[in-house]
Structure 1
């Protein structure tokens, strides 16, 4: 009888531990002062790939297994913020929509990368773009943009355990952003 009970307990523990497969992406959000009763997951071209409705407990819950691994935008009706999703993730978000940049917090599997993205968003909002606007030469603009990109890469590289695919996506995004800034501020300088 003891062997049977022990075997049953082990089986239940195994079933519970393997309840989430590596092909699932579980997501849950608790948002105070929410803007809508829906959250939208959009691709980086702003196309909606999934809508998550609020449940009876005031939570947004979804299985996002149909979504491919990668970078997405989460839209709460007012604000967009980046989110990285990957098979096997089990993400929980808490935040106050009135102060989302200051309060967004991820927990669960995949939280390290997504908390990093939240901090990066705050860095981007706080960056002094006035320095670029007031630069007198294209060379100075390019130097400031290169410094901005180098600082972002340094922050990324300070996390050696990050998923390699995520790191590649972020490095590409930094390069693309730098190219856009050079073009925009170069054209702006030429007009003045």
Structure 2
């Protein structure tokens, strides 16, 4: 019966799509198997468009009077995925959250564009792995041939799909951009990964036309601003440009005391000089700031110089509050500071602060999310090892981004001692105050005083 109802729903949507040109109204609906949230949120860039509750039959529905044609994404916490929508669309999505991306299927108007976009996303995940294990070792010309083959295969299929369907020009350009920027990003990364993989002393000489695509780069394509391959390419591109320009033009490149500050200031000014689109500028500036603050533990005076430079070139950045909170969070996690007094919840649903949890003992705090089964299984295996290595520490797990009842079920299923586990209902506050980048981080305290605020459970 469930399958019959779903089939009827899909037929309804497909039939609605025939009236696509007669109305600007958009219907976006779907069925979620094993929902992880009570609602679906539709976003365009950083802007929330609407939200839809998931009903008792695990279905949701958006009725939008009119929209701007383009790329959106729908959030089903803690996951999200793209959806391409145009005026008049009637589109259905079905997925199982246990296999979120792999199970996702679109039906209705613009189904070809959306399914192919998802197919490119899944293919890129596999190819990213192959690049690092096999392809970056290749000599430049062999690498270019491999990239060309993979790219041409997808472009050929895209053109065939466009010829066989009613795909719009905007949809076609979005998919073509996804392909182009995916493979051009690999070229930006290649010289550095090739050097690392082959242990060559210097960067390998490249053919003169290796970066020939750069003359056609578009730094103001608002249709691609929030497309992951476009954004990831831009990050790699500016990293490459900054390194190369410093390597050839900067006299103080060998000064260890200022190297990280100098390099990241370089990156800020290159973005400022080339990128036009405001959202893309803000997002790239944010990436530079996070990379510098989190990965490059520079001297405090250099960090202050960087933040002033950031505010100068990135005026009215939409992420400025987040970056200032990150900076303050890092400052508050330095040795000899008291661990932030944040509230967490025990297995018995009692509130307690981290300061109270850490009082009068040595503690190693670690963090995990129920949304990633492999991640938390690996973490608990590692914690079992650390119990033998650190018998003088209590190992305290803090759960994030998981429903409270689901968290309790996971602990019971795995047989984890619940007295050493706590749950957080405020992911944003916890992330900012404890600087949870990456999720594998650990915080070590002695009587609630921080010993190491930026440890990692796999390097203890």
- TM-score tier, shorter chain, comes to 0.7 to 0.9
Shift of 1:180: 1.3
2-structure distance, mates of 1:41, 1:134? 41
Q: Structure 1 residues 19, 81: closer, same or farther in 2, change over 3 A?
A: closer
Aligned to 1:131: 134
Relative contact order, higher structure (CA 8 A, sep 6+): 1
Q: Which structure has greater helix proportion? A: 2
1-structure distance, mates of 2:100, 2:28? 18
TM-score by length of 2: 0.34
TM-score by length of 1: 0.76
**Corresponding residue pairs, total:** 173
2-structure distance, mates of 1:94, 1:30? 5
* The one of 167, 177, 182 aligned to 1:177: 182
Structure 2, unaligned stretches of length 5 or more?
A: 1-17, 200-460
Aligned to 1:14: none
* The one of 137, 152, 155 aligned to 1:153: 155
Q: Relative to structure 2, which stretch is displaced further, 124-133 or 143-152?
A: 124-133
Aligned to 2:49: 50
2-structure distance, mates of 1:54, 1:24? 19
Q: What do residues 92-137 of structure 1 show as CA deviations (whole Å, max 9, x unaligned)?
A: 11110111233222222222222222333332233333332332x2
Aligned to 2:104: 104
CA-atom RMSD in angstroms: 2.6
1-structure distance, mates of 2:68, 2:22? 15
Secondary structure at the counterpart of residue 107 of structure 1? strand
1-structure distance, mates of 2:104, 2:142? 35
Task: Confirm or deny: 8 A CA contact 2:19 2:88 kept in the other structure.
Answer: no
Q: Which has the larger radius of gyration?
A: 2
* Segments of 4+ moved more than 4 angstroms: 17-21
Secondary structure at the counterpart of residue 36 of structure 2? coil
Q: Structure 1 residues 41, 133: closer, same or farther in 2, change over 3 A?
A: farther
Q: What do residues 27-75 of structure 1 show as CA deviations (whole Å, max 9, x unaligned)?
A: 11210112222323334xx524324232444322112345311122333
Task: Confirm or deny: 8 A CA contact 1:28 1:60 kept in the other structure.
Answer: yes
Q: Which structure has greater strand proportion? A: 1
Q: Structure 1 residues 23, 66: closer, same or farther in 2, change over 3 A?
A: closer
